[in-house]
Amino acid sequence: MVILAVDYGDVRTGIAVCDANEVLASPMTVITEKNADSLAQKIHSICQEKKAEQIVLGLPKNMDGSEGFRADACRAFAGLLEQVCALPVVLRDERLTTVSAYRALSDSGVFGKKRKQTVDAVSAVMILQDYIDSRRR
């Protein structure tokens, strides 16, 4: 099944997708959009283009597992995505994905403006790869 991952942010939102065999997650793009309705429409277009059957949305949790205001915003956005895209949306714990994404980009020699432009898509890859790996177990 083709699954689209979303690392939802206030300004930038990372998008990743996996192959139909759910083996490998790949970065797609970073969408710069502050308006949730417009963002949901852009994600809907990508879902149609890639023939996605499910969306995985990163759910930011505090290190102790509790949820804060940002998690509430993600839950609300998940509901909007389900309406706009007419696809099931699964929430996935995204603790430390951005830190790991920065580390992976640094290890690859990607710094500065290019790193800032791609870190959200790499975070989406980590969310999605974690999800598809958990489905295999």
Residue 65: Cβ-neighbour burial (10 angstroms; 0-12, 13-18, 19+): exposed
Tokens 């597992």 locate to: 65
The C-alpha atoms of residue 43 and residue 35 are separated, in whole angstroms, by: 12
The pLDDT score that the predictor gives to residue 47 is 97
pLDDT attached to residue 100: 67
Write the secondary structure of 75-102 as one string of H (helix), E (strand) and C (coil): HHHHHHHHHHHCCCEEEEECCCHHHHHH
pLDDT in tens, 57-72: 999 987 787 888 889 9
The mean per-residue pLDDT over the stretch 83-102 comes to 83
Nearest partner of 118 among 56, 44, 29, judged by Cα: 29
d(CA 38, CA 43) in angstroms, rounded, equals 9
13-43 per-position pLDDT tens digit: 999 999 999 999 999 999 999 999 999 999 9
Domain of residue 120, residue span: 3-136
pTM: 0.87
Mean pLDDT rounded to a whole number for the chain:
88
Domain CATH number, residue 121: 3.30.420.140
Give the Cβ contact number of residue 136 at 10 Å: 7
| Domain count of the fold of the chain | 1
